[in-house]
């Protein structure tokens, strides 16, 4: 009883305090109080998707703020098992719009068209490498600036390959790959492997975006814009896609449907339990965290054999920076200035190469400084023209890649759907969306 009394007293005191607070608290916590900040101070809200560079990016922003005292930059990084796109949509719907945000390609451009500032007059747009702007170019307008380049393929464990007596140069066609996989599988025990592959079928972006892209892009001549305007899709290379999926599934650590990226890269590949994984240069940091020595010396990347494109690596721009045109002119200008500084100033360039470990999408970078072996290799592929440009999955009907094709592939892999149905249902959905 006594207890109750004092408990209640505390509650009532809190209440009174709280009610006193109400009056003075609610006036300044709204999401858009830019007008209230002092006259010469500009606030730029950035909303970016790359979790991997969160800390490094925030550090760099601090440097920029020190150099430009009149600018305040708030960075929000949305990783989250929930997707960036959804969170961004919610932010726009709620009026809490960022000044700088990320768009993936033509579909996003279409969706946010009303908000996209023309960036053609920026130094960064000038410096962007040929072909990196296709996805966001309209007539003379440039509606986004490339983040970086990324490439993916089969990342392999050099030590295991060596021990098994495999020469990477010999892997050209799909049959070659199949033979190598079988060779490795026979020696699993001696090599200390759980399996040859780790196929993270839990991740829709691996199935729907990356794997599928290699077998869809040729149909549209590797051209994003062409895919974006296509009313239908034939999935000509469907059988090849199936063959490739079956191979990975058969020789993968099971069960694949609960296997996620973290298990694939950190647990299985970094601890040398599998010989190969299909991923891109972005895994380097994760591997490095687990085993620095292995990351620096033990991994390489080889191309996925797609008929007609053997020896090529799909490389492209995963995301673009966009500037919100609806903000004050001052804010728009400050946003452009920041992006220019990020990609064209010495400080920015260094951070892009050494802290973010990006493969730059801009001119005048010292390729020697690319710090990790995977990015270096991909850059080399690019130099000799052995890349497949055009990440067509950014130009499919919204959500089609992951929610339709990816989900159907998941169903196929778990035995709930026949392959023919995967193909027909995905085509059907594409056509329905593009009507």
Partner 1 sequence: MRNRDISFWLFLAPVILSLSLVIMIPFLYGFVYSFTNWNGINATEFLGFKNYINLFKDAEFRASIWFTTKFAIVSVILLNFLGLGLALLVTQRMRTSNFMRTIFFMPNLIGGLILGFIWQFIFISVFGSIGELLGIEALTGWLSTTATGFWGLVILTSWQMAGYIMVIYIAYLENIPKDLLEAAEIDGASSFQKFKNIIFPLVAPAFTVSMFLTLSNSFQIYDQNLSLTNGGPYNSTQMVAMSIVKTAFTENKMAYAQSQAVIFFIIVAAVAVTNVYYNKKREVDM
Partner 2 sequence: MKKRKRKSFLIEIFGLLLALLWLSPFYLMIVNAFKSKRDIFTDVLGFPSEFVTENFVKAYIDLDFTKSLFNSLFITILSVGIIILFSAMAGYALARNKSRLSGMLLLVFVAAMLIPFQSVMIPLVSLFGKADMLNKTGLIFMYLGFGCSLSIFLYHGAMTGISKSLDEAAIIDGANKFQVFWHVVFPLLKPISVTVGILNVIWIWNDYLLPSLILPDSSATIPLKMFLFFGQYTKQWHLALAGLTIAIIPVIVGYFFAQKQIIEGVSEGAVK
Residues at the contact surface with partner 1, assessed by CB under 8 A: 81-83, 85-86, 89-90, 93, 111, 201-202, 254-259, 398-399, 403, 407-408, 410-411, 414, 416
- Rounded to a whole number of angstroms, the minimum distance from the CB of residue 256 to partner 1 is 8
CA 372-376-382 angle, to 5 degrees, is 150
What number of other Cβ atoms are within 10 A of residue 94's Cβ? Answer: 9
- Rounded to a whole number of angstroms, the minimum distance from the CB of residue 418 to partner 1 is 15
What Cα–Cα distance (Å) separates residue 354 from each residue in 53, 85, 126, 180, 366? 11, 28, 23, 35, 11
Between residues 2 and 415, which has the closer beta carbon with respect to partner 2? 2
140 binds, among partner 2, partner 1, none (CB under 5 to 8 A by kind): none
Between residues 76 and 386, which has the closer beta carbon with respect to partner 2? 76
173 binds, among partner 1, partner 2, none (CB under 5 to 8 A by kind): none
258 binds, among partner 2, partner 1, none (CB under 5 to 8 A by kind): partner 1
202 binds, among partner 2, partner 1, none (CB under 5 to 8 A by kind): partner 1
- Rounded to a whole number of angstroms, the minimum distance from the CB of residue 261 to partner 2 is 5
297 binds, among partner 1, partner 2, none (CB under 5 to 8 A by kind): none
What Cα–Cα distance (Å) separates residue 71 from each residue in 47, 99, 315, 334? 16, 13, 35, 7
Between residues 81 and 385, which has the closer beta carbon with respect to partner 2? 81
Between residues 93 and 140, which has the closer beta carbon with respect to partner 2? 93
CA torsion sign for 232, 234, 240, 245 is positive
Tell which residue, 311, 59, 52, has the closest CA to residue 174. Answer: 311
- Rounded to a whole number of angstroms, the minimum distance from the CB of residue 305 to partner 2 is 25
Q: What is the largest CA-CA distance in the chain?
A: 83
- Rounded to a whole number of angstroms, the minimum distance from the CB of residue 417 to partner 2 is 26
What number of other Cβ atoms are within 10 A of residue 174's Cβ? Answer: 17
Between residues 93 and 384, which has the closer beta carbon with respect to partner 1? 93
Long-range contacts of 326-335 (CB under 8 A, 24+ apart): 326/97, 326/114, 326/115, 327/97, 327/99, 328/34, 330/42, 331/34, 331/42, 331/43, 331/44, 331/99, 332/99, 332/117, 334/42, 334/44, 334/71, 334/99, 335/44, 335/99, 335/100, 335/117
**Residues with Cβ within 8 Å of residue 61, at least 6 apart in sequence:** 46, 73, 75
Between residues 112 and 341, which has the closer beta carbon with respect to partner 1? 112
- Rounded to a whole number of angstroms, the minimum distance from the CB of residue 183 to partner 1 is 26
- Rounded to a whole number of angstroms, the minimum distance from the CB of residue 226 to partner 1 is 25
What SS3 class is residue 76? strand
Tell which residue, 241, 164, 246, has the closest CA to residue 197. Answer: 246
Contact (Cβ atoms closer than 8 angstroms) between residue 372 and residue 378: no
- Rounded to a whole number of angstroms, the minimum distance from the CB of residue 93 to partner 2 is 6
Between residues 112 and 362, which has the closer beta carbon with respect to partner 2? 112
Contact (Cβ atoms closer than 8 angstroms) between residue 232 and residue 431: yes
Residues in contact with partner 2 by the rule CB under 8 A: 3-4, 7-8, 11, 14-15, 18-19, 21-22, 25-26, 29-32, 49, 51-52, 74, 76, 79-84, 90, 93-96, 203, 205, 260-262, 265-267, 271, 282, 286, 289-290
11 binds, among partner 2, partner 1, none (CB under 5 to 8 A by kind): partner 2
């Amino acid at each position: 009883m006594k207890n109750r009394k004092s408990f209640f007293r505390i509650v009532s005191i809190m209440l009174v305090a709280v009610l006193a607070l109400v009056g003075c608290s609610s006036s300044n916590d709204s999401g858009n109080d830019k007008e209230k900040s002092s006259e010469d101070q500009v606030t730029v809200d950035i909303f970016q998707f790359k979790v991997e560079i969160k800390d490094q990016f925030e550090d760099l922003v601090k440097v920029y703020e020190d150099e430009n005292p009149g600018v305040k930059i708030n960075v929000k990084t949305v990783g989250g098992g929930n997707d960036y796109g959804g969170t961004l949509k919610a932010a726009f719907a709620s009026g809490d719009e960022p000044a700088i945000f990320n768009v993936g390609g033509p579909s996003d451009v279409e969706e946010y068209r009303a908000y996209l500032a023309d960036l053609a007059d920026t130094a960064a747009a000038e410096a962007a490498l040929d072909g990196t702007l296709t996805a966001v170019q309209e007539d003379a307008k440039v509606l986004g600036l490339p983040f970086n380049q990324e490439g993916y393929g089969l990342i392999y464990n050099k030590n295991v390959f060596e021990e098994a007596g495999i020469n990477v140069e010999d892997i050209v066609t799909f049959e070659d790959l199949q033979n190598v996989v079988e060779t490795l599988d026979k020696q699993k025990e001696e090599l200390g492997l759980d399996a040859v592959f780790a196929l993270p079928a839990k991740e829709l972006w691996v199935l729907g975006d990356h794997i599928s892209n290699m077998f869809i892009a040729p149909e549209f001549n590797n051209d994003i814009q062409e895919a974006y305007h296509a009313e239908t899709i034939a999935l000509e290379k469907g059988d090849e896609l199936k063959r490739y999926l079956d191979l990975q599934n058969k020789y993968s650590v099971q069960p694949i449907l609960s296997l996620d990226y973290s298990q694939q890269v950190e647990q299985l590949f970094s601890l040398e339990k599998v010989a190969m994984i299909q991923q891109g240069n972005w895994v380097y940091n994760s591997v490095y965290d687990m085993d620095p020595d292995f990351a620096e010396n033990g991994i390489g990347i080889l191309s996925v054999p797609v008929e007609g494109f053997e020896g090529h690596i799909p490389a492209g721009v995963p995301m673009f920076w966009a500037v919100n045109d609806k903000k004050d002119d001052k804010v728009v200008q400050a946003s452009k200035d920041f992006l220019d500084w990020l990609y064209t100033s010495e400080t920015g360039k260094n951070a892009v190469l050494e802290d973010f470990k990006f493969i730059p999408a801009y001119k005048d970078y010292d390729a020697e400084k690319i710090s990790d072996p995977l990015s270096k290799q991909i850059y080399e592929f690019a130099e000799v023209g052995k890349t497949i440009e055009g990440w067509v999955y950014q130009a499919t009907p919204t959500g089609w890649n992951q929610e339709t094709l990816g989900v159907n592939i998941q169903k196929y892999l778990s035995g709930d759907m026949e392959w023919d149905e995967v193909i027909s249902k995905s085509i059907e959905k594409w056509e329905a969306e593009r009507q």
